[in-house]
Structure 1
């Protein structure tokens, strides 16, 4: 099939299309996998000097995979992602590619085989274009490191796309690929999705196998609290990818299979929604108010039952302050080789009162937590999961902000835990500590709940903003469906100015 005369228009129309739409175009023969890949490579060559999202590439290997996909399509094969180009977070092993997690100590660590999640997407027909940038050791809200440099936000290159899946979301927002694979322990899928205006899903803990991720290579045990999950430009693509990522753990798959329940509702008006826009004990930022009020207006317009925390019976909603303390304790103790405390942090640790039960104290003590204390916190975690289950008898989803601010300007000052960021409140702008940016992101992590980050438009500065929907344990389809229903009514991803090549698409932008 020769389509050279029509190809520029067709390829431009697929630039910001969903992975599902790209797969359909390939299956219908409207475009070949080789043509689509060359379009993607050309866009990366054109834009990535400024963005620096895709930092590991093997164009010839990708071209070979695209040719194989075209041959399979010609034979009549049909797979969910056959011929669709994707990138994956640098911390996932891809055979023949370096996995360093941004750490120079592992700059020569070439993977011998694909991570389990990567292998699943490849089996579904995806063409692996390359790997996207991350922070050092995946431990920051900004994606930069000494190996690959700094990743910038396509909406404003003076700002970060987030971390640790920042290169992932920048690649999606810039129109390189339609699907990405990330990880999340403290918002590393959802915060970058929020900063760049794409969709991200943190699955229920344990659903997606983590084999073949991170450094050093060869680890068998999953890191506590960490999950792997998809990022995309549509909610439907999140579900498509999640289905491909289930039941990959070889030992467990011999007997145990996850079969996720369907979404609780198929119509938005049937959802029972609790919205929370203020963290207990903290003032509400203008950004938090903007995001939640925009969602509330849309929900109430559709006849959705929306409640506030004051409407919840006493004792039904888990104690978020207690939960955050336990989260910080288990988060800090989840590191096999925790970094040394900064001098200031060491002094704070030494000055802690024995009865200090704050979240700050929990994080400082976490690296040296006694196993007996870890077991107590783990018991609290499980108890909280059961309390959330009771809560979700009365509600279907909880909607919150993702962070107290939109994408911020690059800030690489050290030590990291001493950084502050400008957050706008009703009484003016204040500098907020790095550690205080994670309340919302951490909310679903400790109990292992699913959470979907979804865009809700732009703020007054023209930056994308998002909310997250948190749902019941193992009911991932419910939060994705909720985001998808809002997307169908109000739109979702919008391409950043200057990255679109299709005038018709640009003219249709809200």
Structure 2
């Protein structure tokens, strides 16, 4: 993409701004500025690693843990609108059964830790991931409720290792937006400011975790859908290396053989130390070999950092995020990396990931319903009769444009992608990481993402390159909103990014409940 076209696309966002900003302000002004109630039950503040040990050792009842999280869900969901459907009664019964089993000494403590490391821990799941018996619409409006007939493989693994599933959480329609809203379940709010978005597409999941109503959860990521929400609500999210977690059992889905190269399911958590615990339990046993609990000597890790892709299409990162990035980089003596080909990140993503076929409102229709056409659906949308959101309505247009990129252009971008991948692997090796912004700013107001559509290229370039990435919470900006950065490593080195995330949490602090941020910042 030429410099001129890049600038044209960048400035086109200002045109969108003129349209989007007034609507965003109107929508946000209608939202009552409610605050979340403070966390009163101390069980909600215990990391999963420790909580699992307490349950195994009968220092706390699983039933009490599950009750605490259910009560917190009931407290915060009227404010956040994060839960699509719950299974609280079943979760409580499972918790009681777990307590009975532990009391009967059905296994030794060591066996429980080895075979069921998640035993008794509450888990929430993005609604687009199949949980048997619960809603699996991915935000679409259907005449007949869509219920998952079986668990997705990643959910099966979680249950197998002892997790207690509480509910499924909200997504944008078909996960096609970085804002979590749809015409079926409504709009999810950010726990730190309800006038802000929690991001998407794992926005409901992140909002519930960030509010202290979920310990950790399962999301999905093809363009930053785990990492952006994790940053916006001050928690941790990990996009695993390709094929570590099964990408199937998800709505939408694709039959393209390259789909798992870019799309993955993965964990979100309030505490960095819980990410390896959850990832190790839900990953595919026949997938790539990982050493998630390998001891890492941080002094032997080579740290690099970049502040942007220098493409001219993304906005400059905010002063607070820049300061935070430099603070972390200076602590680890990171060297600034120079990767000129990063300017092609957006182009590569559009030419490789976007053209892939996946389920849309035009390709997957309800039984007995006629297939939709884009022209009619656009007409319905502009006349206020469509049951779909704008991104779902226009997805065929986006795919048509990207599918029809000239073949010579595609070949050129494929070669650039291969060379960029080689440069990244050379930079990182098996003992290096890249510190990189997650997003230029903290959480934006609802719907403002539509005039910031170039900025998620900070995230999706790593999907295109197939690299493991962990979003790490690093503090708060002047608006008292969470900020963070990405830690990137070579494929298969997930343990390194997770170890660095834990180290950053120890040094710079981790998750803080929304009502405690002001006091914490004042003390600092």
RMSD of the TM alignment (CA)?
3.3
Which of 317, 335, 342 pairs up with 1:307? 335
Is the contact made by 1:272 and 1:394 (CA closer than 8 Å) also made in structure 2? no
Could you say which residue in structure 1 is the equivalent of 2:357? 335
- SS of 2:49 mapped into structure 1: helix
1:447 corresponding residue in structure 2: 465
3-state secondary structure, aligned to 2:167: strand
Residue 475 in structure 1 maps to residue 493 in structure 2: yes
TM-score, scaled relative to structure 2: 0.77
Taking the aligned partners of 1:195 and 1:299, their CA distance within structure 2 comes to: 21
Query: What corresponds to 2:321 in structure 1?
Result: 291
- Does the alignment pair 1:137 with 2:159? no
Q: Is the 8 A contact 1:164 1:189 kept in 2?
A: yes
Give the stretch that moved more between structures: 276-285 or 454-463: 276-285
| 1:61 match | 90
8 Å contact kept, 2:342–2:420: no
**Which segment is superposed worse, 119-128 or 380-389?**
380-389
- Equivalent residues, number: 447
- After superposition, give the CA deviation of every residue in 1:332-379 in whole Å (9 maximum; x if it has no partner): 112335675998xxxxxxxxxxxxxxxxx9977314468997677556
Gap regions ≥5 residues in structure 1: 1-9, 344-360, 421-433
Give the alignment of 1:92-491 within 5 angstroms.
92-105=129-142, 108-215=145-252, 222=259, 225-248=262-285, 253=286, 257-261=287-291, 266-282=296-312, 287-301=317-331, 304-309=332-337, 312=338, 317=339, 319-337=341-359, 340=374, 365-368=401-404, 381-393=417-429, 396-411=432-447, 419-420=450-451, 434-491=452-509
Task: Give a deviation string over 1:387-417, Cα, whole Å, max 9, x none.
Answer: 32222239711111111111111128xxx8x
CA contact (8 A) 1:11 1:36 kept: no
TM-score w.r.t. the length of structure 1 is 0.79
SS in 1 for 2:229: helix
Partners of 2:425 and 2:79 in 1: how far apart? 45
SS of residue paired to 2:208: helix
Distance 1:215 1:266, change over 3 A: closer
What is the alpha-carbon distance in structure 2 between the residues aligned to residue 305 and residue 506 of structure 1? 27
1:24 maps to 2:42: no
Distance 1:270 1:462, change over 3 A: same
2:343 is paired with a residue whose SS is helix
In structure 1, distance between residues paired with 2:47 and 2:522 = 16
2:341–2:416 CA contact under 8 A, matched in 1: no
Cα distance change, pair 467–136 in 1 and its aligned pair in 2 (3 A): same
**Which one has more relative contact order, counting CA pairs under 8 Å at least 6 apart?**
2
Q: Structure 1 or 2: larger helix share?
A: 2
Q: CA deviation at 1:218?
A: 10
Q: Helix, strand or coil: the match of 1:274?
A: strand
- Preserved CA contact (<8 Å) 1:274 1:395: no
Cα shift readout 1:11-61 (whole Å, capped 9, x = no counterpart): 822212211122122112122121211111111111110111122112222
- 8 A contact 2:219–2:267 mirrored in 1: yes
Distance in 1 (CA, whole Å) between partners of 2:516 and 2:77 is: 13
Partner-residue secondary structure (3-state), 1:197 = coil
**CA distance in structure 2 between the aligned counterparts of 1:219 and 1:364, rounded to whole angstroms:** 16
Name stretches of at least 5 consecutive residues in structure 2 with no aligned partner.
1-38, 363-373, 379-396
Q: Cα 1:492–1:286, aligned 2, differ >3 Å: closer, same or farther?
A: farther
Q: For each residue in 1:263-310, what CA deviation from the matched residue of structure 2 results, as whole angstroms up to 9, or x when unmatched? A: 897343433222111331338856444324323324434xx332123x
Distance of 2:400 and 2:322 partners within structure 1: 32
Contact 1:263/1:478 (<8 A) preserved = no
* Alpha carbons 1:53, 1:171 under 8 Å: kept: yes
Residue aligning to 2:120: 83
Equivalent position of 1:39 in the other structure: 68
